[in-house]
Amino acid sequence: MKIFYNLIFRVLVVIFFISFGNIQAQILPETPTEIDSPEVSVLNEPQTLLWLGNYGTFRLSEKFYWHAEFHFRRRENSQQLFYGDMAQIYNRHGLKYIPVKNFSATLGGVLRIDWADKDGDNFEDIVYEPRIWHEYIWTMPFERFRIYHRLRIEHRWKRGFEKGASYNFRNRWRYKFLMKIPLNKPKLQPGAFYFSPDVELIMQSGKPVVDNPFEDIRLFPTFAYIASPRVTYSAGLMYTTGQTSDSGFIYRQRWVMRFNVYFNIDLRKFDDRIPRTNILD
């Protein structure tokens, strides 16, 4: 077991240095130009959004799973809060490996489709953002609740909506802490409602990231219901804030209503659950 965790640690260290290898390109010249710094930061007015999420886990073998997510996201407009205009469709897939009960590692890809919030002949209506992602989750089980630590690293290619805009590469560093605390049952089991405090810090690095490495912090208190061993529903209102891409002293705010469905299917037993039919009957 110690050998396995040492291997995981070494892999993370290698990924860290490779991903940050391009930071040298961001070092200021020996004679920096004078930059006017604002006296105070600017906090933009909050934006409201609606995120619908579908999370699937498909068991392939004893230790391997297929992870699949689909997200449908809308944002406010001048006439409607939360649900005004289309914002994003988000597909995330990956191969999950669970070597021991309380640890998992996943590697996969993402394709995000963004809808423009600007009109005009100089802007594209839709932009595609591909990513490569990997994450590592440590679970701490207790008698009545569970604690999760998640480290997710994303390598993303992002561009603006201006016609002819080029893609820029950057890395995303995400740490999430969450708990699952049953409210009406002695433990997490079918029929249990549970409360989940959820906090995630998102940092970024890369050549385009000059004075805005703090991308987001997300505070997401959630209430969920375990309908069966296979299906769970959750809902909550998330608040986020972080530096904008315009300038490091400008911060955005968002209030996001989130509704999620989680399901898991054991594909190893799929044939056993379907009644066999005889075509000659």
Predicted confidence (pLDDT) per residue in 126-169, tens digit: 999 999 999 999 999 999 999 999 999 999 999 999 998 999 99
Determine, yes or no, domain membership for 60.
yes
E-strand stretches of the chain: 42-43, 47-59, 64-75, 85-100, 103-115, 126-141, 146-158, 168-182, 193-196, 198-205, 214-219, 222-226, 231-243, 250-266
Phi-psi map region of 148: left, alpha, beta (phi>0 left; psi -120 to 50 alpha): beta
Tokens 């002819």 — which residue? 164
What is the model's pLDDT at position 101?
Answer: 92
- Domain presence at residue 156: yes
Stretch among 20-24, 32-36, 265-269 having the lowest mean pLDDT:
20-24
Tell me how far apart the alpha carbons of residues 239 and 255 are, in angstroms, rounded to a whole number.
Answer: 5
Residue 30 belongs to a domain: no
The structural domain count of the chain equals 1
- Give the integer Cα–Cα distance in Å for 108 and 116: 26
The model's pTM is: 0.83
Q: CA 187, CA 142: separation in Å to the nearest integer?
A: 10
What percent of the chain has a predicted confidence (pLDDT) above 70? Answer: 82
User: Is 174 among the domain residues?
Assistant: yes
Q: What is the C-alpha to C-alpha distance for residues 233 and 199, in angstroms, rounded to an integer? A: 19
Range(s) of the domain holding residue 219 = 2-20+46-269
Q: What is the CATH number of the domain that holds 7?
A: 2.40.160
pLDDT tier, 6 (very low <50, low <70, confident <90, very high otherwise): low
Which residues are CB-neighbours of 267 under 8 A, at least 6 positions away?
58, 59, 60
Task: Report the mean per-residue pLDDT for the chain.
Answer: 87
CB 234 within 8 A of CB 26: no
Q: For position 25, what pLDDT does the model report?
A: 39
Mean of pLDDT values over 230-258: 95
Helix/strand/coil for 252: strand
Q: Please report whether residue 31 resides in a domain.
A: no
Burial class (CB within 10 angstroms; exposed 0-12, middle 13-18, buried 19+) of 226: buried
Q: Is 144 a domain residue?
A: yes
Per-residue model confidence as pLDDT tens digits over 180-203: 999 999 999 999 999 999 999 999
Please report whether residue 38 resides in a domain: no
In a domain, 40, yes or no: no
